[in-house]
Amino acid sequence: MSASHLPKVAGIDPAVAASPHTAAPASARTPPTPPAPPAPSSVIQDRLAGMVSDLTTLHDLTERLARTSGLDAALRELLRAGASLVGARRGLVVLEPADGLGPVHTVGLGLGHAELGHIETVPRSATSYGRILDGLPDAQGGSEVLPEPDAATGSGGYAVPVDPRHREVAARLGFAASYALPLTAEATGRLGAAVWLYDEPAEPNDRQRDLAGLYLRHGAEHLARMLEVERTRVRLATISEELLPSRLPRVPGVQLAARHRTGPAGGGDWYDALPLPEGALGLAVGSVTGSGPSAVAAMGRLRASLRAYAVMEGEDPVAVLSDLELLLRLTEPARAATALFAYCEPARRKIVLAGAGHTPPLLIGDRRTEYVETSLSAPLGMLACWEAPSVEIEPAAGETVLLYTDGLLRRTGDPMDRAYARLHAAAANVPRSLREDPDALCEHVLRTVLPGDVPSTADEDEDVVLLAARFE
């Protein structure tokens, strides 16, 4: 009689079933299966993710650089971003255009003025960024590891001829390696060089080098544009200064001081002080609408015309401004201007003034600080015929009359009523020791009204003019 067969179950062969309590012999065990290599698709995805991350980083950094508003701010942002890309915490960037037209400027990151001074004592040929600036044939930038005094080679085995002064400065400042790159723009050529300093012997890896190189190529183009803007601003400021008085006159009974700050675009604010017959003195401030070379040229023409009218009829400020308004309408029909002219007799401490849409003067003394009540009037060129009454004031001995343009108020970033209050408070709080010197008084007002932390909403394109006259 045949034995009955056990029923079959899927995946199990009952004929060879083993006891669950019996381990298989070691010789029969299956070796562990090695992990499968990653699929090609996952490797590609990782690389793509890394590339996207790098591109995002570059995009964010270049956006920050593009938002900088000045050459100095752009240099600082470029240096800071480059340090984050190469893994350094200190460095410096030297702006030294190859065309020799300047400006030459050095900005440090994590380095004070004294430390930058120490670095500048190292011969340029002994540093990688110095060789870049000098345009030497081997100046391509890259890593530079400072060897110990008895070492002959640097990173990678190449010879590093380190100047003793270079080694001394590196030891004093505590850096052991550097990484330098040139700043080169397509249109202007070499602009300068940037170098980052490492506290330990180190150098950026290939990925960091690629990112830093891409960023600096973009950054150099941005710097080239900012450099052209800065050069234009300097040229306009120079022309504007040349159109203003080279020095203030000396008239018995009065002390004069002036300040003029030109906006980046070059504006049309101006001032003047000219001696008149019989010991009199003419004071004027004004502002021409617009900015740029055309506004500067119009300002020069208007100021020259006012001087002529002041010499002929300066004792009547209303007549002076009326003639100036007629000239403006005939020669500059598309332009308007504000102006204030004061006819001063220092011996009598008497001032007769008239204004055309201009800010009121400020009378500053030990017993009072107040705005001069001038009548409301339109700017020159705004109406078919300008006319406004004159105002007469008599400052006491030791008091100062401060004339200014509205750029001083607008640069504060405050509404006009608050800007006037700020100016009044600054003038009222001038220390007694400074009130005897109109030059020191102007400096105090500027520092107080326009501190270094002016809000970003301030109109920094505005010119600023101050003209102070202290009567003895």
The DSSP line for 215-250 is HHHHHHHHHHHHHHHHHHHHHHHHHHHHHS-SS---
Taking only the tens place, the pLDDT of each residue in 217-232 is 999 999 999 999 888 8
pLDDT for 56 beyond 80: yes
Under the banding of pLDDT at 50, 70 and 90, the label for residue 402 is very high
Give the pairing type, strands 369-371 and 362-364. Answer: antiparallel
What SS3 string covers 376-433?
CCCCECCCCCCCCCCEEECCCCCCEEEEECCHHHHCCCCCHHHHHHHHHHHHHCCCHH
Distance of CA 140 to the CA centre of its chain: 29
- pLDDT at site 161: 54
pLDDT for 46 beyond 90: no
CB atoms within 10 A of CB 208: 16
Residues 220/181, Cβ–Cβ less than 8 Å: no
Taking only the tens place, the pLDDT of each residue in 315-350 is 999 999 999 998 998 888 888 999 999 999 999 999
In the chain, count H helices and then E strands.
11, 15
Under the banding of pLDDT at 50, 70 and 90, the label for residue 234 is confident
pLDDT for 457 beyond 80: no
Distance (Å, rounded) from C-alpha 273 to C-alpha 406? 19
Residues 179/86, Cβ–Cβ less than 8 Å: yes
pLDDT for 147 beyond 50: yes
Task: List b or e across 211-227, with b for residues whose CB sees 16 or more CB atoms inside 10 angstroms.
Answer: bbebbbeebbbbbbebb
Q: What CATH class does 244-471 carry?
A: alpha beta
pLDDT for 209 beyond 50: yes
Distance (Å, rounded) from C-alpha 99 to C-alpha 432? 50
Of the CATH numbers 3.40.640.10, 3.40.190.80, 3.30.70.260, 3.30.450.40, which one belongs to the domain with range 64-235?
3.30.450.40
Average pLDDT over residues 23-32: 52
Distance (Å, rounded) from C-alpha 324 to C-alpha 388? 13
Surface-to-core class of residue 48, CB atoms within 10 Å of its CB (0-12 exposed, 13-18 middle, 19+ buried): exposed
Element (H, E) at 269: strand 267-276
Under the banding of pLDDT at 50, 70 and 90, the label for residue 12 is very low
Under the banding of pLDDT at 50, 70 and 90, the label for residue 140 is low
| Closest CA relative to residue 403, chosen from 265, 240, 269, 279 | 269
State phi, psi for 352 to the nearest 5 degrees. -115, 125
The token duo for 419 is 């800007």
Domain ranges within the chain, ordered by starting residue: 64-235, 244-471
Higher pLDDT, 368 or 384: 368
